[in-house]
């Protein structure tokens, strides 16, 4: 009798019980290790936004803009600049022992190359 009454209420279909299925299910996980201080900062920001920590972290990761450290070209520039700095130190040592006038042409050449590299690196930042 009861079974017959339930079938009339639902139109002959069985009712689904429990929570409805989510459209998007998150099956993957990501573990992030933090110091207790970092965790407090993240938890505070999530609380201020009125969100759970995982939701805040997920949204922050989606909208974050990360600038790459250095491209291969820029790393080459820095390596060249480092080598030039070494050469400049050697020239300075020679200038102290042999006199500055004898090294004037070498110093000008190194300075011109350094300025050109600094301009290239400066242009890549913008």
| Average pLDDT per consecutive 10 residues, the chain (126 residues; last block may be shorter) | 55 79 86 93 94 92 84 85 86 78 76 84 64
Ordered DSSP codes for 79-114: HHHHHHHHHHHHHHHHHHHH-SGGGHHHHHHHHHHH
pLDDT at 39: 93
- pLDDT for 99 equals 73
pLDDT at site 12: 65
Only one residue has tokens 């006199």, namely: 99
Domains in the chain: boundaries: 33-66, 72-125
pLDDT at 119: 84
**pLDDT value for 113:** 85
**pLDDT at site 51:** 93
The pLDDT, as a whole number, for residue 56 is 93
The SS3 of residue 15 is coil
Helix intervals (H) in 17-52: 36-49
Against a cut of 0.75, is the pTM above it?
Answer: no
DSSP string, 71-85: -HHHHHHHHHHHHHH
Q: Would you give the DSSP letter of residue 22?
A: P
């Amino acid at each position: 009798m009861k079974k017959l009454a339930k079938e009339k209420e639902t139109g002959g279909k069985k009712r689904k019980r429990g929570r409805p299925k989510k459209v998007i299910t998150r099956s993957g996980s990501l573990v992030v290790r933090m110091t207790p201080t970092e965790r407090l900062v993240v938890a505070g920001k999530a609380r201020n936004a009125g969100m759970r920590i995982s939701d805040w972290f997920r949204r922050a990761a989606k909208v974050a803009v990360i600038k790459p450290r250095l491209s291969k070209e820029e790393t080459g520039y820095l390596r060249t600049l480092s080598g030039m700095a070494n050469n400049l130190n050697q020239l300075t040592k020679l200038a102290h022992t042999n006199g500055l006038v004898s090294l004037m042409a070498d110093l000008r050449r190194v300075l011109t190359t350094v300025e050109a590299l600094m301009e290239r690196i400066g242009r890549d930042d913008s």
